[in-house]
Amino acid sequence: MKTEPTKDHAALAHRFNQDEPRVNWHDETLWFIREKRDRAAFAIPDWELLRETASQIKFHTLSNLSQYLAQFEANAQANGITVHWAADAREHNQIVHSILQQHGVTQMVKSKSMLTEECHLNDYLEQHGIEVIDSDLGERIVQLAKEPPSHIVLPCIHLKKEEIGDIFHMHLGTQAGVADPQILTETARQHLRETFLTRKAALTGVNFAVAETGEFVVCTNEGNADMGAHLADVHIASMGIEKLIPRRADLGVFLRLLTRSATGQPITTYSSHFKMPRPGHELHLVLVDNGRSVQLGREDFRNSLKCIRCGACMNTCPVYRRSGGHSYQSAVAGPIGSILAPNLDMKKHADLPFASTLCGSCSNVCPVKIDIHNQLYKWRQVIVREGYADPKKTVGMKAMNLVLSSPKTFTLSGKAGRWFMKTVPFLVSNKMNPWYKHREMPQPPKESFGEWYRKNRKPHE
């Protein structure tokens, strides 16, 4: 179970940066994916139109969400799907557990679902005596390593293949020192095949749910969602209520964007539609709110619900690439996680909107055009207003305002640079100036611009 964080993003990022070659490797690995994304996007001349279209479809859907949810539920039920509603993570976990209990299931296979990470489903089920095996390869690796995923699309991107070799040696019996991806993948394949064949229940995530047909679509590259669902008697699908799209015709817009944005592929290997249970089998769908309707009510932040979980904002984020996904301490890390997480727990995630330079690259790669960096700025204002800022910072900012709002104090604060030398950069504790650790201070010139101007031009007082 995830424990209350004791360190904030800056502290964990500092720790991540103790191994600089590893930071370089992490940065370059993710930048490589950003470049693949660029090549895929630039191959589509109408890419920006596609993004705009997707953004508007999502806007429309979110604006009429209750109506589309009702339509979807009715159609799904007509198809034979059992629909459940969960107000929060706890209720979601209880629903899943009760379905498993009804069928006497103690072992479940699960394909990728960030929602179940958000709800900490695995921990919950394990506490209730149910074994969960993640079937997405990356998810399985971090599960064996007893770590949370560090990236929503690439869960083990923080691990090198040698480290994965060690994990497989320890848990799956490969030879020590074997790090050949082909051998490791084959080992995982055999291990998971046994799992698929013996599990009576399978849980999958949902990428898109179509209101007009009552079907849902699951995208994977490994086909693991299909293997799990097709071989089990009971298929449970968990989806956030924001995953809806109105029509099947809208799906093409999103499928074209999703994987190009995520990995630079034209489309996922499998885009599987699930519409009804097979005869004699059960298909359950759990619709989860868990803070989404609260976020929908926050005008400044509701567009964050457009997210289709492609991870492009993480790959492009210069801070994410150099701090690693675990430094965010949230199921969804990176820029999008930093605007979603404070809605779930503002106190716990008060550090995240500040873990950004507001460079804006995230908003530009976002396939549904979420204004991520503007929302980061707005969350900062909310977090300070709600009293979650460091009190020392508040004192510093007030002192700064006194100087900067008074021309007289500003000018009298000294010869060029004196006030700034005491306070730069921006009034943080000076006894161990974090600027100076790895950077020289700017050299104060002999006169400020103001002083120069007074001597050389006719001042306009």
According to DSSP, residue 5 is labeled P
32 binds another protein (CB under 8 A): no
List the interface residues with another protein, window 378-417 (CB under 8 A): 380-381, 383-385, 389, 393-394, 397-398, 400-401, 403-407, 410, 416-417
Q: Indicate whether 359 belongs to the interface with another protein (CB under 8 A).
A: yes
Which span (35-43, 76-84, 125-133, 155-163) binds another protein, by CB under 8 A? 35-43
CB nearer to another protein: give 165 or 353: 353
Binding mask 334-353 for another protein (x = CB under 8 A): -------------------x
Let me know: does 96 contact 126? Beta carbons within 8 Å: no
Q: Closest separation between CB of residue 327 and another protein, Å?
A: 9
Nearer residue to another protein within complex by CB, 181 or 425: 425
CB of 51 to another protein, least distance (A): 9
Q: Measured from the CB atom, is 299 or 440 closer to another protein?
A: 440
C-alpha pair distances (Å), 166 with each of 148, 161, 171: 18, 9, 9
What whole-number distance in Å separates Cα of residue 380 and Cα of residue 261? 27
Choose the stretch contacting another protein; rule: CB under 8 A; options: 9-17, 159-167, 194-202, 303-311: 9-17
Minimum separation from the CB atom of position 365 to another protein (A): 5
Beta bridge partners of 240: 288
Q: Report the C-alpha gap between 282 and 234 in whole angstroms.
A: 5
Residue 362 to residue 375: CA distance in whole angstroms: 11
DSSP state of 28: H
Question: Could you tell me the sign of the dihedral formed by the alpha carbons of 71, 76, 80, 82, in that order?
Answer: negative
Using DSSP's 3-state secondary structure scheme, residue 341 falls into: helix
| Interface region with another protein, contact rule CB under 8 A, candidates 127-135, 141-149, 216-224, 319-327 | 319-327
**Among residues 357, 392, 395, 412, the one that binds another protein under rule CB under 8 A:** 357
> By C-alpha distance, which of 285, 288, 265 is closest to 276?
285
Minimal distance, residue 437 CB to another protein, in Å? 6
- Determine the length of the chain: 461
Q: Which is nearer to another protein, 31 or 59 (CB)?
A: 31
DSSP 170: H
| Cβ closest to another protein, residue 14 vs residue 191 | 14
Query: What is the pattern of x (binds another protein, CB under 8 A) and - over residues 44-63?
Result: xx-xx---------------
3-class state of residue 461 by DSSP: coil
Number of Cβ within a 10 Å radius of residue 180: 11
Nearer to another protein, 170 or 399 (CB): 399
Residues in binding contact with another protein, number by CB under 8 A: 85
H helices of 345-417, where? 361-365, 372-385, 391-404, 407-412
Interface with another protein (CB under 8 A), residue from 4, 13, 256, 268: 13
Residue 53 Cβ, how far from another protein at the closest point, in Å?
14
Q: Are strands 201-204 and 107-110 parallel, antiparallel or unpaired?
A: parallel
Residues 185-224 touching another protein, rule: CB under 8 A, are none
CA 261 from centre of chain: 14
Within residues 250-289, the interface with another protein by CB under 8 A covers none
The single-letter DSSP state of residue 95 is H
| Residue 17 binds another protein, judged by CB under 8 A | yes
